[in-house]
Structure 1
Amino acid sequence: MSKVCEVCGKHPVAGRSISHSHRVSNRMFRPNIQKITIRDAKGHVRRANVCTSCMKAGKVERA
């Protein structure tokens, strides 16, 4: 499944984990993407990959 939100465009970002002893390892910050049924601007019902922050903010109209 795609890791990009179709509403806001949020995508995975690379970063680093730093332990207490300051050892550094690479990691990924991934958005919480869910596949939901939405009603788009034209009124059609379709499935889309949307992040949970867009769902909570009400940026999508659920069908």
Structure 2
Amino acid sequence: MRRLVVWNVMSLDGCFEGTAPWSLDHHATVWGDELEAFSLRQGDEIGTLLFGCRTYKGMADYW
């Protein structure tokens, strides 16, 4: 069985995005060198990156 790791950046009241859809301004409050390094290390250890439907659509539109 493979391991599933989930992590999200959200506010204390449970918001994942800002006032508009895909507004991620609040991520800047936590994102920095340490979290970036952690994220890259985690990325080296995974075999698959899985997005939910809305995240996939938002990322596809961005790419």
Q: What interval of TM-score do these two structures reach, taking the shorter chain for normalisation?
A: under 0.3
Structure with the higher helix share, 1 or 2 = 2
Specify which structure has the bigger relative contact order, considering alpha-carbon pairs within 8 angstroms and separated by 6 or more residues. Answer: 1
Could you say which structure has the higher strand fraction?
A: 1
TM-score by length of 1: 0.21
